[in-house]
Amino acid sequence: MKHYDLICIGTALVDSIIQGFDPQPVSASGYRAEAGSLNVGGEAVNEAMAAAKLGLHAGILCSLGEDSAGELVLAALRGCGVDVSPVLRSDTHPTPVSTLFVRADGTRKSVTNRAHSYNFHPEQYPERFTDARALILGSLFRAPFDDPAVIHAVLTAAKAAGQLVFADTKLPNFRPLTLDDLAQSLPLIDCITPNEDEARHYTGRTQPEQMADELLRRGVRSVVIKLGSRGCLYKDAGQTIRLPACRIRAVDATGAGDNFVAGFAAELLRGSTVKEALRFANACGAICTSAVGAAAALRSRDQVLQFLAEQDE
């Protein structure tokens, strides 16, 4: 028996979210926006909090500074029921803080800084992530998973421990990698979950099914291409599944992909079929977009099931 259902590894940060930013200055140095808020973020944080809300015993391995931003992240994680005992603290590397400008349609642009490029070494702490049924890397191509050696060491330890491995992805920022750089590691991934832009960037293909084929050719066991308002595409060696997106009024897309991944992993761990898990994941991602911030809207598995029932009406 494993102690955790799921462990998430990746960057933790604080998002300063600016809604309805008006690029026209109102003074020599002043601008206006509709609203502003502080929200904890980072793929691993978003995924761990969503998984815990969905009823999993979830933990997280990340690095936080000994600062107020780090305390904000810890408080939010604990508030959602995430086990934070694997978290590392550092008095030399601050907790990253991002600024996100959110448009009226929910799309966004973000500003990061050098604190986001700090590459802590999760492979040095296998005891902190291998005692779980499943592992989510959030995200490949971003620190700490922008170093091929770190990626391979973590995945090797995970597979030796019998873990199911999910790998979310992001576009590179400080240290670009290609699929060729990860040739040894890709066959150790059970499911990779890029969005359409990320899959296009890394595979060089233009159609979602071609993107999935390229990732499968490189050894990944299954692929989910997140297609936003067009739903998702799943493919493995034996089946292809396309599902439409759920109907919802989007307010902010921040963290929708992370909530999707957590929902997909959670339902698979509960024994659902791939198609059932994808439908549940679609709902998690959609619910996330209905409020500002990655962790504001999703509350429980019962909420997701009720949302799905309403979609069927």
Q: Is the pLDDT of residue 15 over 90?
A: no
Q: How many CB atoms lie within 10 A of CB 66?
A: 13
Domain residue spans of the chain = 11-23+32-300
Nearest to 204 by CA among 222, 179, 229: 179
**pLDDT tens digits, residue range 169-203?**
999 888 899 999 999 999 999 999 999 999 999 99
Q: Is 51:266 a contact under the CB 8 Å cutoff? A: yes
Give the pLDDT of residue 106: 64
**pLDDT tens digits, residue range 237-292?**
999 999 999 999 988 888 999 999 999 999 999 999 999 999 999 999 999 999 87
One-letter amino acid for residue 262 of the chain: A
* Residue 313 pLDDT class (50, 70, 90 cuts): confident
Q: Is 31:23 a contact under the CB 8 Å cutoff? A: yes
Positive/negative CA dihedral, 66, 69, 71, 74: negative
One-letter amino acid for residue 309 of the chain: A
Q: Is 266:300 a contact under the CB 8 Å cutoff? A: no
The model carries a pTM of 0.91
Q: Which of 61-70, 71-80, 113-122, 280-289 has the lowest mean pLDDT?
A: 113-122
Q: What is the spatial distance between Cα 6 and Cα 266, in angstroms, rounded to a whole number?
A: 8
66-70 mean pLDDT: 95
Give the pLDDT of residue 124: 97
- Multiple choice CATH, 11-23+32-300, 3.40.50.720, 3.40.1190.20, 3.40.50.2300, 3.40.50.11310: 3.40.1190.20
User: DSSP states of 250-275 as a string?
Assistant: -S--TTHHHHHHHHHHHHHHTT--HH
Tokens 């600062």, residue located: 67
Percentage with pLDDT > 70 across the chain:
99
> Strand ranges (DSSP E) for 92-230?
97-102, 108-111, 132-140, 164-169, 191-193, 222-226
Nearest to 10 by CA among 152, 144, 187, 189: 144
CA distances from 133 to 1, 111, 268 (A): 8, 35, 11
Q: Is 260:247 a contact under the CB 8 Å cutoff? A: no
> Strand ranges (DSSP E) for 84-123?
88-90, 97-102, 108-111
